[in-house]
Amino acid sequence: MAIDFTKDSHVATVRINRPDKMNALTLAMYDDLGRAFHAIKDDDEIRAVVLTGAGDRAFCVGADLRESIPALAADTIDISAWDSAHIKFPGFYKPVISAIRGMCMGGGFEIMLATDIRIAARGAVFQLPEPKHGFVPAGGTLVRLVRQIGYAHAMEIMLTAERFSADDMLAKGVVNRVVDSEQVELLAYEMATKIAALSPIAIQTIKEAALTLQDLPLAEAFRAEAALGQRTFTSADAKRGLAAFANRGNEK
């Protein structure tokens, strides 16, 4: 299996496992990655996800140039066929933490942008090289990057096609933490475990709000926020949490 999908209690780990090819994605791997994310969406036991690549050389360098890119260039497939692998399908509100070592380039960069928290190794290298080859990063990047970070930073990354260090990405707001390579996956899993211990309806509602409210007119966004908030206030998790809080107060 070139895409490994495992589950430990409430945390799933998805590993792109083709280290001899810098974790480049074949057409079959794109399909398998998409199926893994759909399985995670539909599994109520899973509350958080760690996404990483096998080995230290690469998180993922994107599509396999010998197979996937020629298929796109020949117009025999459409890039929207990879929407599931890029988590572009609706209703996926479980938090994903990416653990990035080595090269994170092209489609690998785009898959990283589909995650919510990003932990990078000090030696990690990031690049969107597509303009050098005559095409664009259309696996979610043209939509996501400008929305996730400042306009000027996003345009520098996309327009120059240059390589950037992990510290560059930290300064631009693309990644959250930069740590030693051996700590990357450990920290990602630790964060996923902590998040998974929190209320799943609260966590998933936060992600839903972040993804769906930002482009609404202000008044409409506030109304939608209130509705999402009310959903959590009336949930079983909230009732248990409020009862526990009240009991702590009574014990004082």
What's CA 206's distance to the chain center, in Å?
15
In single-letter form, the type of residue at position 220 comes to: E
Q: How far apart are CA 99 and CA 19, in angstroms?
A: 15
Written as one letter, the residue type at 30 is: Y
81-103 b/e (C-beta count within 10 Å ≥ 16 → b): ebebbbbbeeebbbbbbbbbbbb
Report in angstroms the alpha-carbon separations of 90 from 29, 53, 119, 183.
Answer: 21, 25, 25, 32
Q: Choose the catalytic residue: 130, 156, 220, 251.
A: 130
Active-site residue among 45, 67, 110, 156? 110
Nearest to 141 by CA among 102, 107, 175, 165: 107
Could you tell me which residues come within 8 angstroms of residue 170 by beta carbon, excluding any fewer than 6 positions away? 120, 176, 177, 178
Partners of residue 15 on adjacent β-strands: 4, 52
Rounded Cα distance between 2 and 28, Å, is 9
Any catalytic annotation for residue 185? no
Tokens of 237: 């998790």
User: Is residue 67 among the annotated active site residues?
Assistant: no
Supply the residues annotated as catalytic: 110, 130
